[in-house]
């Protein structure tokens, strides 16, 4: 599918949609953006995001990841959030809003691509609306697009894709360099996006139609390296710590804090069977791919771009699937590219049923996607939000003297603006049992050391949201006072 051919000028693959179609598209897009942004600053939450926000808060306070605290992730997203914390303060709503705007931009780029490039002019609006709904209302994109660095990754992946498909016809190298830079920013924000870079590089090499492909490949690689400047700098200063956080932890230690990892991964990788939205996206995407390969008379340059969407969706899914453990939200980076193929699949299915007008097939598919999101949000109706932990953080502040050490989880450290003790920046690293010297150099404190410090009365206040952990740490015996808030326990006045 990476094979490319010359351009067929009869394809009709360029040009804009009529003004009325653009008005309808913009109206639906504006409604989606308003609803999504409102969700982002009210209910959007996942526990995992707290360690990234805490890392950003620590960076804003002058600390350096890897050198001063364990942060097993590429640091670009944390540095971006740290810059905003310095400008606007440590406010999760502002950071959510910024990430959500990235996701909205990514959805627009994906839909606009189909609106401009889809070969069947009368199906462009239907295809664009399907992309908008199929991507924007995808449960993983909607629920997590405002969290962590997912929004930045989505926007840069789509912008990199748009730059790459333009670069193959350029005589110069600038767009190829931009594509590499954008792919590098995505990978620098999250390793889950790393698989896109080699796909874009190989596709650009194979499909090049203008200029020197070697210069373009060199520009792509140079652009790709720029966002990793901080990692290279950290690698030069602390090679062992940087290697552990970026590579070694993910290769050998991720599964330690998640018992039954293999069974969990199998359940996640087969969860699409129970998801109507995922099934619809997969079926339409495969139908679109088969239609493009076997039956469409479209120009080969447009076909090659759609094949690129398929390769990106497959590579990003494979990257997400190999994480051990993996989670359903990791696959959100593949959704826009799968949805682009689904637009072709909608056309193929509609023609199979002799549906000449695109309105009704697009409306039915959009309704199914919207209902799928509604069901997913209903299932999360009792999930914790930032408001939940704000109430817990308020009690911690109430019972703890200023500057006194606190044992808590990342959300509480972020909300109380308290600096965690060294080694307590990531709670799941307590499961790692490394040699003492190595653990100290990596800023890791294991569970036995946590219990020793608790017994010694080193924490004025302790907080946990895990009943088993509370029992294991003997918090009810070690502290005279405690309060139950939401699903968490706050303990103070050590019984020494």
Does residue 348 belong to any structural domain of this protein? yes
How far apart are the C-alpha atoms of 365 and 152, rounded to whole Å? 27
How far apart are the C-alpha atoms of 395 and 378, rounded to whole Å? 29
Q: Quick one: 366 and 394 in the same domain? A: no
Q: Quick one: 335 and 440 in the same domain? A: no
Does residue 391 belong to any structural domain of this protein? yes
How far apart are the C-alpha atoms of 95 and 409, rounded to whole Å? 19
Beta-carbon count within 10 A of 259 CB: 10
Q: Quick one: 406 and 467 in the same domain? A: yes
Domain housing 149: 19-379
Q: Quick one: 233 and 271 in the same domain? A: yes
Q: What pLDDT was estimated at residue 11?
A: 41
Residue pointed to by tokens 């911690």: 396
Q: Answer yes or no: is pLDDT of 41 > 50.
A: yes
Burial of residue 360 (number of CB atoms within 10 Å: 0-12, 13-18, 19+)? exposed
Picking from 10-19, 135-144, 337-346, which range would have the lowest pLDDT averaged per residue? 10-19
63-115 pLDDT, tens digit per residue, is: 999 999 999 999 999 999 999 999 999 999 999 999 999 999 999 999 999 98
How far apart are the C-alpha atoms of 332 and 335, rounded to whole Å? 5
The overall average pLDDT reported for the chain is 92
Q: Quick one: 283 and 430 in the same domain? A: no
Domain boundary among 317, 345, 379: 379
Residues 6+ apart with CB under 8 A from 320: 192, 326, 330, 331, 333, 334
How far apart are the C-alpha atoms of 39 and 103, rounded to whole Å? 13
Query: How many structural domains comprise the chain?
Result: 2
- pLDDT band of residue 23 (cuts 50, 70, 90) is confident
Q: Answer yes or no: is pLDDT of 356 > 70.
A: no
- pLDDT band of residue 19 (cuts 50, 70, 90) is low
130-186 pLDDT, tens digit per residue, is: 999 999 999 999 999 999 999 999 999 999 999 999 999 999 999 999 999 999 999
457-480 pLDDT, tens digit per residue, is: 999 999 999 999 999 999 999 999
Q: Quick one: 40 and 184 in the same domain? A: yes
Domain boundary among 319, 351, 379: 379
Does residue 167 belong to any structural domain of this protein? yes
Rounded to 5 degrees, what are φ and ψ at 371? -65, -35
Domain boundary among 344, 379, 414: 379
How far apart are the C-alpha atoms of 308 and 208, rounded to whole Å? 13
- pLDDT band of residue 18 (cuts 50, 70, 90) is low
């Amino acid at each position: 599918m990476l094979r490319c051919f010359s351009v067929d000028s009869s394809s009709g693959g360029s040009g804009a949609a009529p003004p009325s179609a653009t008005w309808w598209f913009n109206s639906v897009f504006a409604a989606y953006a308003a609803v999504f942004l409102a969700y982002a600053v009210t209910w959007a939450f996942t526990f995992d995001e707290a360690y990234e926000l805490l890392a950003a808060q620590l960076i804003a306070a002058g600390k350096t990841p890897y050198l001063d605290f364990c942060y097993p992730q590429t640091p670009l997203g944390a540095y971006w959030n740290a810059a905003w914390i310095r400008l606007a303060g440590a406010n999760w709503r502002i950071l959510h809003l910024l990430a959500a705007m990235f996701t909205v931009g990514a959805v627009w780029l994906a839909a606009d691509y189909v609106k401009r490039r889809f070969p069947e002019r009368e199906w462009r609006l239907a295809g664009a609306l399907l992309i908008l709904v199929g991507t924007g209302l995808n449960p993983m994109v909607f629920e997590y697009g405002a969290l962590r660095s997912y929004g930045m990754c989505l926007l840069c992946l789509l912008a990199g894709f748009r730059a790459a498909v333009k670069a193959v016809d350029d005589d110069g190298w600038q767009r190829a360099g931009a594509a590499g830079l954008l792919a590098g920013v995505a990978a620098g924000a999250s390793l889950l996006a790393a698989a896109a870079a080699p796909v874009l590089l190989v596709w650009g090499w194979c499909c090049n139609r203008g200029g020197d492909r070697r210069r373009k490949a060199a520009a792509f690689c140079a652009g790709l390296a720029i966002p990793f400047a901080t990692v290279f700098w950290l690698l030069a200063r602390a090679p062992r710590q940087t290697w552990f956080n970026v590579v070694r932890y993910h290769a050998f230690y991720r599964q330690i804090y998640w018992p039954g990892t293999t069974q969990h991964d199998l359940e996640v990788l087969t969860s699409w069977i129970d998801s109507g939205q995922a099934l619809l996206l997969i079926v339409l995407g495969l139908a679109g791919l088969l239609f493009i390969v076997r039956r469409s008379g479209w120009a080969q340059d447009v076909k090659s771009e759609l094949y690129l969407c398929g390769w990106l969706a497959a590579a990003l899914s494979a990257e997400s699937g190999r994480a051990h453990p993996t989670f359903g939200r990791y696959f959100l980076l593949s959704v826009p590219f799968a949805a682009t193929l689904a637009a072709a699949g909608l056309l193929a299915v509609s023609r199979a049923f002799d549906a000449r007008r695109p309105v009704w097939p697009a409306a039915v598919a959009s309704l199914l996607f919207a209902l799928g999101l509604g069901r997913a949000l209903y299932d999360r109706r009792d999930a914790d939000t930032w408001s939940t932990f704000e109430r817990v953080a308020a009690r911690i502040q109430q019972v703890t003297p200023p500057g006194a050490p606190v044992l808590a989880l990342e959300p509480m450290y972020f909300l109380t603006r308290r600096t965690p003790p060294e080694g307590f920046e990531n709670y799941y690293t307590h499961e790692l049992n490394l040699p003492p010297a190595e653990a100290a150099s990596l800023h890791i404190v294991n569970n036995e050391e946590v219990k020793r410090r608790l017994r010694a009365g080193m924490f004025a206040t302790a907080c946990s949201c895990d009943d088993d952990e509370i029992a294991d740490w003997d918090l009810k015996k070690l502290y005279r006072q405690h309060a139950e808030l939401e699903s968490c326990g706050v303990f103070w006045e050590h019984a020494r």
